């Protein structure tokens, strides 16, 4: 067995893991290791060949692989070690050791002082949303299709229907059309677009692909290969309305119906998960309930922008590094972050008020789209921070800062809420 | 004739309608601020898009490698460019930013590699 | 051309069990199946429960065979390396009406020869299975009711039979059976003819069509659809015992059962159909399941479901197992009417059919070299870290984990492909090894498995299917190759 020890070990070398590793090194950690199951660095960015990355971090519009490269090219020069084609199978958080396997070394028993969970997420499946019908070939989640097309060089079908108006679904609509396939419809159960408007324009409108809001797929037909799907309108409770169905002939159904943080390993490490985000509960230092274990990126909560993942992961990497260097934080008080009116969830879920005085960023999602609103962070009845927004949308994560000098004002709870602007 | 565009300049996403005869724009309405005007003018007269796709890679880690146009291409040339790129092959070693097709279809735009 | 002693039509649980039994003798045996893989139709889409026969119709052949088969599984599962657990079942009464039916069911169990059942009070039921509905009035405990991996069982029967000399012809459809002087002489398939002395009709859903070929079809077979939910592994209301509903005048109810791999399953519906290929899951069926199973297991929720599937029970009219040699057509043995308890009864049907063959003149010379043990594919996930390490050093393919949800390695996938009666499709891999059954439902592993299959079988990736020709996953490379 291959046994080794590191100061900071990061599971996953996608945008989260890469940013965390670099930051850990920058605060002075000596031995940093990235453990990645794929044969190259970059994680999901490798297959996101479309532009839209880096607008905030680099002030440039980059494609996924280009964005990843900005970080990948720093790995070797910084002396960060990498294990590729290596799958972590177990974490013993009591011993601070993890077990991974790869072809070259067999079982790797790796010790850590700090562990950063950056495993990303998986896609929600047809089975998880129980679409009735047969089980033929030709049903793919969008990410799986994207991997076949953009990395393995295969085409997965000729005539498509896409369920879900999230960004992945829309981006694949464009990709498939450029590859010569026919995308006959994008079907969305919500009454609003769940992805970015920009993608609707450049991926659907550009190619005259119809979008059906407040609709869903209620049947799949085909014995060996998909032959048709049934589309139905839904009511306000998302139940199909009888009599509104029609069939679309197609040979492929692409599903873009949500991402789920991949936390099976986290559970093995005894990390406590939030039932809303399905990711670990963390403090503003991105540390989980298990000491020495940090989390960032999609494994923590599903993000829309890789740029936000980078910022959040830099925080995780920094504190993971400082933790490995022996820095201890003694919280004077713990402030629970409570989602108030109109807010679905907040990350971090708690703030540990210590001697450290620094701005703290809160990331959160709203429950419903709205225009002309005020976002407010308050505690003990007092306003801590406030911001105006022309437009908010559940599909676009919001970020607000608690300024360093406002930390004193925090009580046992802080509440983030949305309020309509009174005209 | 009339054509409606969703403006992408800011998150509001105004639906802006252009009324024109041929290439002469007569009226623009539906925008909540001035920035929408140059946006829809461009979209109406000369829409451009960044193209991202893959090309065959021989001797590389993966059978195809991701590429992009280094500048936006005229929207009406996108599918013709795809036809060119579907037949394009490059050989390892492949470097980030390397030019795969120079001045594709006389557009002044290069197609470059986007991965290492 | 070689003359077969026995041709078995159908490679489901029954057909492969008979094949294995026959492979204990010096005989030329051939199994033919229209499907691309062994597993049959009903045998690969059922609940995986090994019944005791407590609720069979007393005095019937089904009752005899199921009651006889149940105790055989400890040895059989060990010999064939098939996951099997005698978890026990609780026949659960939640209404007064159901509770009053229990004594009759208890007596019926005894009549079937299943004496080791116990009446349970509500408290006893709750103590045996804490997740059981708080409304439980009482129940009957059936300790020998068990759960098995039905896919592995059939593959194991088949592999062991093949190891011991049985030949298999898959993707081969029987289109006719020719007689000579009132005796079976040839089986005609869509790829050629097979000379044989005996034919065993173990074709499940299609036993009627085969029987018609020899004019022995005095019955009909129609499919009775059963839909199921499969649940995620780590749900808070996971059960250890099978929970069975008490059948009343109004309904048969739905069951909840643990599986050997840790995913609970709930169902099935019972819908009589005509189309023998109608494998569609319906919204109505799924709703029916949840409503009904909540009586036994109130916490059951579709939100925890990984996927849903359905199987088609081969339902013979008139009902009842009928396993006999034909008097009019010498050499033809029909194994018909096997339904719902077929996987369980396969173990005893095998011996029963071999006895019939002996009575019909088949010489049974024991094969000295018969090897009863079949070792399954390496169970990587169950090895210790040291064992995993040694294995990877010997063969690095075991160091590449392909299925993240169930921890399955490339080495195991290669085994599944290279073994006799190897996997050739994604579903065949799924049945042997689990990739595709986990939380991601193949999202992560399929692109990798498709490439491994293509490489090992030396075929283009676009020919790899989900289950058979026509169900290819890919349409082709998207950039021109060499």
Judged by CB atoms closer than 8 Å, whether chains meet at A66 and B6 is answered as: no
**Interface A:B, Cβ pairs < 8 A:** 80
- Using the Cβ of A135 and the Cβ atoms of chain C, whether some distance falls under 8 Å is answered with yes
A137 at interface of C, judged by CB pairs closer than 8 A: yes
Within this chain, do residues B63 and B110 fall inside the same structural domain, yes or no?
yes
ipTM over 0.85: yes
- pLDDT at A80 (0 to 100): 98
- Count CA atoms within 13 Å of residue B4 on its CB side: 4
Percent of chain B whose predicted confidence (pLDDT) is above 90 = 68
Cβ neighbours around C181 below 10 Å, total: 6
State how beta strands A293-295 and A114-117 pair: parallel
Q: Are B65 and B108 within one domain?
A: yes
Task: Please indicate, yes or no, whether residues B56 and B73 belong to a single structural domain of this protein.
Answer: yes
- The arithmetic mean of pLDDT across residues A59-80, rounded, is 96
| A276 φ/ψ angles, rounded to the nearest 5 degrees | -90, -50
Tell me how far apart the alpha carbons of residues C325 and C334 are, in angstroms, rounded to a whole number. 6
**Exposure on the CB side of residue C191, measured as CA atoms within 13 A:** 8
pLDDT of A423 above 60: no
Q: Quote the pLDDT of residue C479.
A: 85
With CA atoms as reference, the chain C residue closest to A129 would be: C303
DSSP single-letter state for residue C137: -
Name the H helices within C136-175.
Answer: 150-163
Residues 6+ apart with CB under 8 A from C384: none
Q: Look at residue C481 in the predicted model and tell me its pLDDT.
A: 58
Residues A172, A157: Cα–Cα separation, whole Å: 12
Q: Which residues of C touch A149 (CB under 8 A)?
A: 478
Q: What is the domain range of residue B35? A: 2-45
Contact C100/C56 with Cβ under 8 angstroms?
Answer: no
**Chain CA centroid to CA C79, Å:** 17
Domain identity same for B35 and B56: no
Residue B71 Cα, gap to closest chain C Cα (Å)? 24
Interatomic CA distance for residues A274 and A281, integer angstroms: 6
Query: At residue C165, what are phi and psi to the nearest 5 degrees?
Result: 105, -5
Per the document, the length of chain B is: 116
Nearest to A144 by CA among A156, A136, A133: A156
Considering only CB atoms, which chain B residues are within 8 Å of C480? 56, 86-87
Identify the contact set of chain C against chain B, taking CB-CB distances under 8 A. Answer: 477-481
Q: Are residues B10 and B65 in the same domain?
A: no
Interface contact B63-C478, CB threshold 8 A: no
Question: Would you call the peptide bond into C446 cis, given omega within 30 degrees of 0 as the criterion?
Answer: no
Q: Which residues of chain C have pLDDT under 50?
A: none
Tens of pLDDT along B6-39? 888 877 788 899 999 988 999 999 988 888 899 8
Distance CA C191, CA B61 (A): 42
pTM, entire model:
0.95
| The C49-50 sheet, strands edge to edge | C49-50, C146-148, C84-85
Q: Which of A298-312, A382-396, C220-234 is least confident?
A: A382-396
Q: Which residues in C lie closer than 8 A to residue A150 (C-beta atoms)?
A: none
The pLDDT assigned to A422 comes to 64
Chain C residues in contact with A103 (beta carbon < 8 A): 392, 396-397, 399-400
Considering only CB atoms, which chain A residues are within 8 Å of B8?
197-198, 201
Subunit contact B86:C481, Cβ cutoff 8 A: no
DSSP A304-354: S-HHHHHHHHHHHHHHHHHHHTT-----SEEEEEEE-TTEEEEESSEEEE-
Judgement on whether residues B59 and B95 belong to the same structural domain of the protein:
yes
* C400 part of the active site: no
For residues B7 and B26, membership in a common domain is answered with: yes
DSSP C414-479: HHHHHSTT---SHHHHHHHH-TTSSTTTTTTTHHHHHHHHHHHHTS-GGG-BSSSTT-BS--EESS
A176 in Cβ contact with C475 (< 8 Å)? no
What is the number of CB-based contacts under 8 A between chain A and chain C? Answer: 146
Contact A106 C390 (CB under 8 A): yes
Residue C291: strand, helix, or coil: helix
- A172 neighbors A162 (Cβ within 8 angstroms): yes
Contact C388 A101 (CB under 8 A): yes
Counted domains in chain B: 2
Same domain for B74 and B27? no
Contact A127 C389 (CB under 8 A): no
Residues in A closer than 8 angstroms to B51, CB to CB, are: 178
Q: Whole-angstrom distance between the N-terminal and C-terminal Cα of chain B?
A: 47
Nearest to A49 among B11, B75, B114 (CB): B114
Q: Which chains touch B (3 or more CB pairs under 8 A)?
A: A, C
Q: What was the pLDDT predicted at A420?
A: 84
Chain B residue with CA closest to A62: the answer is B114
CATH number at residue B110: 3.10.530.10
Q: Which residues of B touch A (CB under 8 A)?
A: 5-6, 8, 10-13, 49-54, 56, 61-64, 66-68, 75, 78-79, 82, 96, 114-116
Same domain for B98 and B83, yes or no, is yes
Q: Measured between beta carbons, which residues in chain A are less than 8 angstroms from residue B6?
A: 197, 200-201, 205
Q: What is the dihedral of CA C33, C37, C41, C43, to 10 degrees?
A: 110
Same domain, B75 and B36: no
Number of Cβ within a 10 Å radius of residue A104: 13
Q: Are A303 and A295 in contact (CB under 8 A)?
A: no
CB-neighbour burial class of residue A357 (10 A; exposed 0-12, middle 13-18, buried 19+): exposed
Nearest by CB to A66, from B12, B51, B114: name it: B114
Q: What distance in Å separates residue B36's CA from the closest CA in chain C?
A: 38
Q: Residue B84: name the closest of B65, B99, B101, B72 by CA.
A: B101
Per residue in A165-209, pLDDT tens? 999 999 999 999 999 999 999 999 999 998 888 899 999 999 999
Is the CB of C280 inside 8 Å of chain A's CB atoms? yes
Which chains are adjacent to chain C, needing at least 3 Cβ pairs under 8 Å?
A, B
Chain B residues in contact with chain C using a Cβ-Cβ cutoff of 8 Å: 54-56, 63-64, 86-87, 89
Residue of C nearest to A219 (CA): C282
Contact (CB<8Å) A157/C389: no
Residue C252 to residues C225, C269, C292, C428, Cα–Cα distance (Å): 14, 9, 10, 32
Alpha-carbon distance of B30 to C357, in angstroms, equals: 86
A279 Cβ contact partners less than 8 Å away, ≥ 6 residues apart: A261, A263, A273, A295, A299, A300, A301, A347
Chain A CA closest to residue B97: A66
- Bridge partners of residue C335, in order along the sequence: C323
Do B36 and B81 belong to one domain? Answer: no
| Touching chains, A (3+ CB pairs < 8 A) | B, C
Q: Residues B61, B40: one domain? A: no
């Amino acid at each position: 067995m291959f046994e080794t020890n590191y100061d900071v070990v990061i599971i996953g070398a996608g945008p989260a893991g890469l940013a965390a590793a670099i930051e850990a090194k920058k605060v002075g950690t000596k031995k940093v290791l990235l453990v990645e199951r794929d044969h190259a660095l970059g994680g999901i960015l490798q297959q996101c060949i479309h532009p839209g990355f880096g607008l905030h971090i680099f002030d440039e519009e980059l494609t996924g692989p280009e964005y990843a490269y900005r970080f990948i090219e720093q790995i070797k020069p910084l002396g960060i070690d990498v294990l590729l084609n290596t799958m972590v199978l177990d974490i013993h958080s009591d011993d601070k050791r993890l077990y991974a396997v790869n072809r070259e070394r067999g079982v790797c028993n790796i010790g850590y002082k700090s562990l950063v969970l950056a495993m990303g997420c998986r896609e929600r499946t047809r089975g998880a949303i129980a679409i009735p019908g047969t089980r033929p070939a030709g049903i793919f989640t969008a990410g799986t299709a994207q991997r076949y097309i953009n990395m393995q060089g295969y085409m997965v079908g000729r005539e498509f229907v896409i369920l879900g108006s999230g960004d992945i679904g829309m981006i694949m609509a464009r990709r498939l059309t450029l590859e010569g396939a026919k995308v006959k419809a994008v079907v969305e159960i919500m009454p609003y677009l769940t992805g970015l408007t920009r993608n609707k324009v450049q991926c659907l409108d550009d190619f005259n692909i119809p979008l059906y809001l407040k609709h869903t797929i209620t049947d799949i037909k085909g014995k060996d290969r998909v032959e048709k799907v049934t589309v139905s309108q839904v009511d306000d409770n998302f139940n199909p309305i009888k009599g509104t169905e029609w069939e679309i002939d197609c040979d492929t159904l692409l599903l873009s119906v949500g991402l789920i943080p991949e936390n099976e390993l986290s559970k093995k490490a005894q990390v406590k998960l939030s039932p809303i985000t399905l990711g670990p509960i963390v403090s503003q230092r991105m540390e989980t309930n298990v000491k020495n274990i940090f989390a960032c990126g999609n494994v923590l909560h599903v993000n829309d922008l890789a740029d936000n993942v980078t910022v959040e992961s830099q925080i995780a990497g920094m504190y993971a590094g400082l933790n490995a260097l022996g820095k201890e934080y003694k919280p004077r008080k713990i402030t629970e972050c409570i989602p108030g009116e109109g807010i679905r969830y907040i990350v971090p879920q708690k703030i540990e008020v210590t001697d450290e005085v620094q701005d703290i960023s809160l990331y959160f999602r709203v429950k419903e789209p709205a225009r002309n609103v005020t976002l407010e962070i308050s505690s003990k009845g007092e306003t801590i921070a406030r911001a105006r927004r022309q437009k908010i949308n559940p599909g676009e994560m919001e970020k607000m800062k608690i300024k360093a000098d406002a930390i004193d004002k925090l009580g046992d709870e802080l509440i983030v809420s949305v309020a309509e602007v009174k005209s | 004739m009339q054509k409606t565009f969703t403006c992408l300049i800011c998150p509001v996403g105004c639906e802006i309608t252009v009324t024109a005869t041929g290439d002469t724009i007569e009226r623009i309405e539906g925008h909540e601020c001035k920035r929408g005007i140059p946006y829809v003018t461009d979209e109406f007269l000369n829409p451009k898009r960044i193209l991202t796709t893959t090309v065959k890679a021989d001797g590389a880690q993966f059978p195809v490698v991701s590429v992009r146009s280094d500048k936006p291409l005229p929207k009406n040339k996108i599918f013709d460019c795809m036809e060119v790129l579907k037949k394009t092959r490059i050989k390892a070693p492949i470097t980030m930013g390397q030019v795969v097709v120079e001045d594709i279809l006389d557009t002044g735009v290069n197609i470059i590699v986007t991965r290492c | 051309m070689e003359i077969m002693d026995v041709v078995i039509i159908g490679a489901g649980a029954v057909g492969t069990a008979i094949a294995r039994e026959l492979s204990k003798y010096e005989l030329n045996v051939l199994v033919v199946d229209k499907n691309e893989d062994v597993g049959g139709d009903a045998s690969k889409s059922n609940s995986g429960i090994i019944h005791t026969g407590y609720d069979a119709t007393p005095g019937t052949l089904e009752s005899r065979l199921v009651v006889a088969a149940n105790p055989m599984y400890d040895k059989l599962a060990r010999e064939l390396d098939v996951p099997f657990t005698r978890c026990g079942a609780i026949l659960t009464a939640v209404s007064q009406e159901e509770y009053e039916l229990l004594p009759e069911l208890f007596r019926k169990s005894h009549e079937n020869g299943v004496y080791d059942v116990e009446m349970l009070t509500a408290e006893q039921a709750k103590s045996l299975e804490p997740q059981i509905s708080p409304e439980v009035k009482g129940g009957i405990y059936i300790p020998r009711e068990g759960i098995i991996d039905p896919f592995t069982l059939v593959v194991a029967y088949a592999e062991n039979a093949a190891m011991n000399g049985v030949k298999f012809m898959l993707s081969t459809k029987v289109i006719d059976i020719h007689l000579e002087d009132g005796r079976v002489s040839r089986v005609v398939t869509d790829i050629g003819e097979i000379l044989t002395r005996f034919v065993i009709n173990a074709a499940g859903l299609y036993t009627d069509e085969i029987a018609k070929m020899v004019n022995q079809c005095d019955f009909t077979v129609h499919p009775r659809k059963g839909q199921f939910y499969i649940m995620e592994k780590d749900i808070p209301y996971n059960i250890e015992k099978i929970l069975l509903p008490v059948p009343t005048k109004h309904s048969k109810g739905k069951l909840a059962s643990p599986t050997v791999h840790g995913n609970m399953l709930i169902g099935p519906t019972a819908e009589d159909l005509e189309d023998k290929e109608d494998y569609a899951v319906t919204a109505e069926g799924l709703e029916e399941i949840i409503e009904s199973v909540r009586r036994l297991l109130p916490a059951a929720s579709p939100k925890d479901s990984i996927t849903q599937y359905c199987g088609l029970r081969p339902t013979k009219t008139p009902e009842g197992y009928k396993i006999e040699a034909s008097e009019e057509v010498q050499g033809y043995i029909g194994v018909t009417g096997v339904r719902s308890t077929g996987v369980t009864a396969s173990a005893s049907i095998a011996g029963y059919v071999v006895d019939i063959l002996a009575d019909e003149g088949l010489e049974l010379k024991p094969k000295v070299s018969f090897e009863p043990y079949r070792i399954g594919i390496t169970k990587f996930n169950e090895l210790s870290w040291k064992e995993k390490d040694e294995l990877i050093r010997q063969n690095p393919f075991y160091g590449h984990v392909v299925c993240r949800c169930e921890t399955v390695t490339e080495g195991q996938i290669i085994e599944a492909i290279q073994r006799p009666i190897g996997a050739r499709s994604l579903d065949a891999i799924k049945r042997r090894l689990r990739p595709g059954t986990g939380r991601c439902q193949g999202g992560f592993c399929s692109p990798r498995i498709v490439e491994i299959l293509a490489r090992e079988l030396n075929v283009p990736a676009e020919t790899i299917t989900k289950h058979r020709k026509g169900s290819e996953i890919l349409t082709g490379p998207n950039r021109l190759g060499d």
